[in-house]
């Protein structure tokens, strides 16, 4: 399985930027991702903070 080039903290940072008020297409262009990737991240990691992300990786 291919590994992501983004760490969990980077993914959470992108999600939080959009949550605060940025536009999704702008963030996708900035980070070089597809909008489908963003929405997949949101479905997987939506509402997860950094401490919970480390706990998920430990499991």
The answer, yes or no, to whether residue 20 has pLDDT greater than 80, is yes
What is the value of pTM for the model shown? 0.73
The answer, yes or no, to whether residue 44 has pLDDT greater than 70, is yes
Instruction: Write down the mean pLDDT value for the chain.
Output: 82
Question: How confident is the model at residue 1, as a pLDDT?
Answer: 66
Residue % of the chain over a pLDDT of 90: 27
The domain segmentation of the chain, as residue ranges, is 8-58
The residues near 30 (Cβ < 8 Å, ≥ 6 apart) are none
Which residue did the predictor score with more confidence, 4 or 12? 12
Which residue did the predictor score with more confidence, 52 or 13? 13
């Amino acid at each position: 399985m291919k590994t992501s080039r983004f760490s969990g903290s980077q993914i959470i940072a992108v999600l939080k930027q959009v949550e605060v008020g940025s536009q999704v297409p702008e963030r996708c262009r900035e980070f070089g991702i597809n909008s489908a990737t963003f929405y997949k991240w949101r479905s997987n990691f939506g509402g997860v903070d950094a401490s919970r992300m480390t706990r998920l990786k430990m499991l």
